[in-house]
Chains A and B, each alone.
Chain A
Amino acid sequence: MKRNRVWPEWALQTIFVGPAVLAFAGIVLLPFLLSIYYSFTEWNGVSADVKWIGISNYKTILTEDSAFLYSFGFTARFTVMSVILTNALGFLLALLLTQSLKTRNLLRTIFFMPNVIGGLLLGFIWQFIFVKGFATIGELTGIGLFKLPWLGDAPTSFWGLIIVNVWQGAGYLMIIYIAALSNVPKDIIEAARIDGASRLQMLRAITMPLIMPAFTVCLFLTISWAFKMFDLNLSLTKGGPFGSTESIALNIYQDAFRNNRLGLGSAKSVIFFIAVALVTVIQVSLTKKREVEA
């Protein structure tokens, strides 16, 4: 019995939980608290003097910083469009691939593939497509859509980002929707069919309510992806032309690390956090309410 020494509970707690808590506290919690503190200061990141200036960063942001307010509006517009289109396409792909098609597995792989590539690389790929690929297709086919100055003005840059974002995210949502759709009990669908319900009626009255949990998850994912977009934004449009497609995340990055206004940047990041937390909490509680049991 000698080697079976008894470990005191506090030692076990420290060894098992300690490393995780330490990593979390040092890398996430401490910087998060510091960012709240720095948001009340003026600090350029280089010099050691951090000057307490109260809420004046927040005042500056809300009254003078039109670029930030613009980026907030841009991000909101982008999020709404991206969430609607990514979910619509992902759901349609899932409906398609829950039919017993011969090429089902191959198609699933192809639709998911853009998702495994990072936003930075996707942005560069599509920069080429928009600049050279679209121009070539435009010359060959004469279709006006391809001859637009893609990435050259504000509207086409906005839609360029949306296209890439939807292309990237739809396959991921498709996987979640497929899992949900194949869990809908067959007997309910069969009963409805015998009662003479059309495909569309069954979709609206039976399938959709039963897969509400999947909608909750997918809305949550797409909202947080779109709201926090950074990599794709940087590589595809760099926020341009003339700041017209600058997301909040990119705006914070530029102000903090390019202009060295770290205090102001911290205040923006606190506002950003509150916005993200509010939106996701509201969304989850709204869609949770609509979930039903089969």
Chain B
Amino acid sequence: METRAPYTSRKLLLELVGIALALLFLAPFYFVVVNSVKSFGDLLVNAANLPKSLHLENYSRVWQITNFPKVFWNSLVITVASNVGLVVISSMAAYRMVRVPSRLNKLLLLAFVSAMVIPFQSVMIPLVQVADWFNLLDSRLGLVICYFGFGVSLNLFLYHGFIKSIPAEIEESAVVDGCSPFGVFWKIVFPLLKPMTVTIVLLNSLWIWNDFLLPLLILTSPDLRTIPLATYSFFGQYTKQWDLALAGLVMSVAPIVIFFLAMQRHIIEGVTAGSVKG
């Protein structure tokens, strides 16, 4: 009953084209997953077949070699802490800038927005120096503070656009009722920002979870490694030992893919919202 347009043979053809393309898109994942449970000999003989026998010990070995729980924990802590801090500092700043559009605040907004053009590689050399001065090197907190700096421009910009559309009347009546400026913000304004906060947290999470170069420059102890750093060093040691390398890759990729599949509707909406504004 739901068919508005009839399902023509042209549609069927397009459907088949779509499915063929999707299989092509998925093929690399097939190769990696299938070969990650093969013995090394089986893998060398034929990389396209299904495995002759399951070698799940590839996974348990990699789990131990990379100390996966620790690495996963590092990535999680860094991503969550950066998100919390970024949401707090950028929503507060954006709110003030919208409600008090003084010359200073307009100038600051312009500075934040223009800085989005600066590529990371253009600041990374002195950044290591600066991080050293502020004692941010080789510390998870230090890395999180760096993410505050690199994320605040976009987050503030997105919040700024969103807050502009919220009428100020509700806040004014709360002020009359004796609410402090902080109460007004956290109890009244911040809950209204929820859709934008969801978008921002998802965009930040994908970025920070996958980020490689900044952690590479800031963290040096093996204990502090995030998933991309651990994968990088693991791959360096086990090049050409594909059975282990692939199991390691699957383990590294799995968390973010599961996260995406669980949150896909929000992520796709977030991408649309984030890019149309940006």
Q: Contact at A276–B119, with CB atoms within 8 Å?
A: yes
Least CB distance from B224 to A in Å reads 17
User: Quick one: which of B104, B119, B146, B211 contacts A249, CB cutoff 8 A?
Assistant: B119
Q: Which of B25-33, B54-62, B66-74, B193-201 contacts A (4 or more CB under 8 A)?
A: B25-33
Interface string of B7-44 (1 = CB under 8 A from A): 00001001101110110011111011001000000010
Least CB distance from B145 to A in Å reads 7
Asked whether A35 and B125 contact (CB < 8 A) given A124-B245, A128-B35, the answer is yes
State whether the Cβ of A52 lies closer than 8 Å to any Cβ in chain B.
no
Contacts of B209 in A (CB 8 A): 118
State whether the Cβ of A161 lies closer than 8 Å to any Cβ in chain B.
no
Least CB distance from B5 to A in Å reads 6
CA distance A149 to B153 in the complex (A): 43
Contacts of B276 in A (CB 8 A): 176, 179, 213, 217
State whether the Cβ of B232 lies closer than 8 Å to any Cβ in chain A.
yes
Contacts of A102 in B (CB 8 A): 15
Q: Which of A15-23, A62-70, A80-88 contacts B (4 or more CB under 8 A)?
A: A15-23
State whether the Cβ of B4 lies closer than 8 Å to any Cβ in chain A.
yes
State whether the Cβ of A175 lies closer than 8 Å to any Cβ in chain B.
yes
State whether the Cβ of A158 lies closer than 8 Å to any Cβ in chain B.
no
Q: Contact at A13–B211, with CB atoms within 8 Å?
A: no
CA distance A112 to B31 in the complex (A): 19
Interface string of A158-186 (1 = CB under 8 A from B): 00000000010000100110010000000
Least CB distance from A138 to B in Å reads 11
Asked whether A249 and B121 contact (CB < 8 A) given A101-B18, A117-B210, the answer is yes
Contacts of A234 in B (CB 8 A): 212
Of the listed residues A7, A120, A235, the one surrounded by the most CB atoms of chain B closer than 10 A to its CB is: A120
User: Quick one: which of B22, B48, B108, B112 contacts A137, CB cutoff 8 A?
Assistant: B48
Least CB distance from B7 to A in Å reads 8
State whether the Cβ of A294 lies closer than 8 Å to any Cβ in chain B.
no
Asked whether A100 and B25 contact (CB < 8 A) given A17-B92, A23-B145, A176-B272, the answer is no
State whether the Cβ of B100 lies closer than 8 Å to any Cβ in chain A.
yes
Q: Contact at A7–B181, with CB atoms within 8 Å?
A: yes
User: Quick one: which of B32, B95, B117 contacts A280, CB cutoff 8 A?
Assistant: B117
Q: Contact at A119–B212, with CB atoms within 8 Å?
A: yes
Asked whether A110 and B105 contact (CB < 8 A) given A28-B153, A35-B122, A132-B242, the answer is no
Q: Contact at A20–B231, with CB atoms within 8 Å?
A: no
Question: Would you give 7 A-B contacts (Cβ < 8 Å), ordered by A?
Answer: A20-B112, A32-B123, A117-B210, A118-B228, A136-B46, A217-B276, A269-B124
With contacts A118-B212, A128-B35, A256-B124 known, what are 7 further pairs, Cβ within 8 A? A16-B95, A17-B93, A34-B130, A38-B126, A126-B28, A256-B125, A265-B125
What 9 A-B pairs come out closest when comparing CB atoms?
A27-B149, A118-B210, A34-B126, A20-B93, A16-B96, A23-B148, A273-B122, A31-B123, A31-B126
Interface residues of B (CB under 8 A from A): 4-5, 11, 14-15, 17-19, 21-22, 25-29, 31-32, 35, 43, 46-48, 88-90, 92-93, 95-97, 100, 104-105, 108, 111-112, 115, 117-130, 134, 145-146, 148-150, 152-153, 156, 178-182, 185, 206, 209-213, 217, 228, 231-232, 235, 242, 245-246, 249, 252-253, 256-257, 259-261, 264, 267-268, 271-272, 275-276, 278
Interface residues of A (CB under 8 A from B): 1, 3-5, 7, 9, 12-13, 15-17, 19-21, 23-24, 26-32, 34-35, 38, 45, 93, 96-97, 99-103, 106-114, 116-121, 124-126, 128-129, 132-133, 135-137, 140, 167, 172, 175-176, 179, 213, 217, 221, 224, 227-228, 230-231, 234-235, 248-249, 252-253, 256-257, 262, 265-266, 269-270, 272-273, 276-277, 280-281
